[in-house]
């Protein structure tokens, strides 16, 4: 922090997605709608799972925290983005910018690892169904969850330490709609090689570890499904994985496109569109994917509505 305090830059200017006032108005309405659906969808998912005893299983325990992470890292980005679109306030304080980066890394990394934990849960459920309750014990579920948050916090702390050594003395204009690592590092008048290497190592190792876990789990799942004789059995086994696969595809494809590519292929427009997907759109899609494609969640929601209606009629 002493190094940061010596920087002549006291705040940053977020250029946003467009300079057009009409486009900003349209985007603000769209993003506000998406954020409201994100909050209601993820909060509703958490509430339904918590209130319905039939959903107190390892899969839904992990899904609860996926909703929490979606809600959290969307809230780190979207409100400030909406403020920038709706008002003339484009600035963000120096501390606010790096706080946004810190919590975005915490929640983003934790979600990346949580998705791989959910893949392992599906592997155990399909490939070892008789031992599912023993393997996916409460202790293991909590250990996996704690590991996701701890690694996310450690990655963010490591990044914060490397960023604290940087000096900002020239431009304070960030060519992005939020404080992402790459555009912020591009403004530093210090040597950013060490900070960039740390970003590549942390992001790359987490993404690769997660993808290896997910790929290995689903290859085993596919092998097991192909051995099932009945078509109905194959369809039922595969249906338990489709929601997770869809969520993984959306999240990882945009994250890898943004962070795991050489600088020479950088494009501001493409990177911003990809960032919109994993910061704003993806957190909204996950509760829709897992609720609309999951009969147990839909039945639980109906039971909750029936209970609410029953209590209201009693009154």
Residue 251 pLDDT: 80
State both tokens at 164: 């604290």
Strands 173-174 and 91-93, by their bridges, are unpaired
* Contact in structure between 14 and 84 (CB atoms under 8 Å): yes
Q: What is the pLDDT of residues 33-63, one digit of tens each?
A: 999 999 999 998 899 888 888 888 999 999 9
> Cα separation of 9 and 188, whole Å?
10
Q: What pTM value is reported for the model? A: 0.87
Residue 255 pLDDT: 72
Residue 212 pLDDT: 92
Residue 149 pLDDT: 96
Q: Is the dihedral of CA 34, 37, 43, 45 positive or negative?
A: negative
Chain position carrying tokens 């490397």: 162
**Which parts of the chain sit beneath pLDDT 50?**
1-5, 264
Q: What is the pLDDT of residues 116-169, one digit of tens each?
A: 999 999 999 999 989 999 999 999 999 999 999 999 999 999 999 888 888 888
State both tokens at 238: 């595969």
Q: How remote is the C-alpha of 115 from its chain's centroid?
A: 9
In Å, what is the CA distance from 282 to each residue of 116, 138, 248, 270, 272?
16, 28, 10, 16, 14
Domains, the chain, with CATH or none: 2-314 (1.20.1070.10)
């Amino acid at each position: 922090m002493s190094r940061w305090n010596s920087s002549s830059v006291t705040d940053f200017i977020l250029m946003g997605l467009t300079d057009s006032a009409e486009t900003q108005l349209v985007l603000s309405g769209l993003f506000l709608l998406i954020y409201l659906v994100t909050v209601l969808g993820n909060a509703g998912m958490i509430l339904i799972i918590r209130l319905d005893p039939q959903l107190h299983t390892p899969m839904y325990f992990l899904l609860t925290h996926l909703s929490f992470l979606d809600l959290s890292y969307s809230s780190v980005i979207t409100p400030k983005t909406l403020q920038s679109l709706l008002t003339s306030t484009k600035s963000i304080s120096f501390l606010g910018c790096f706080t946004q980066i810190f919590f975005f890394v915490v929640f983003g990394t934790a979600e990346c690892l949580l998705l791989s934990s959910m893949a392992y849960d599906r592997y155990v459920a399909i490939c070892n169904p008789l031992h599912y309750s023993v393997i996916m014990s409460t202790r293991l579920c909590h250990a996996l969850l704690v590991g996701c948050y701890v690694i996310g916090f450690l990655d963010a702390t490591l990044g914060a330490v490397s960023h604290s050594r940087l000096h900002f003395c020239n431009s304070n204009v960030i060519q992005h709609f939020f404080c992402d690592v790459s555009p912020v590092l591009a403004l530093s008048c210090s040597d950013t090689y060490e900070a960039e290497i740390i970003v590549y190592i942390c992001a790359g190792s987490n993404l690769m570890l997660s993808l290896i876990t997910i790929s290995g789990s689903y290859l085993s799942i596919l092998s097991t499904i192909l051995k099932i004789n009945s078509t109905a059995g194959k369809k039922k086994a595969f249906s338990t994985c489709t929601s997770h696969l869809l969520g993984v595809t959306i999240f990882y494809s945009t994250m890898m496109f943004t962070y795991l590519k050489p600088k020479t292929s950088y494009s501001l427009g493409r990177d911003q569109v990809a960032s919109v997907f994993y910061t704003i759109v993806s957190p909204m899609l996950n509760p829709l994917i897992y609720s609309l494609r999951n009969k147990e969640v839909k039945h639980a929601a109906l039971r909750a509505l029936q209970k609410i209606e029953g209590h209201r009629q009693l009154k």
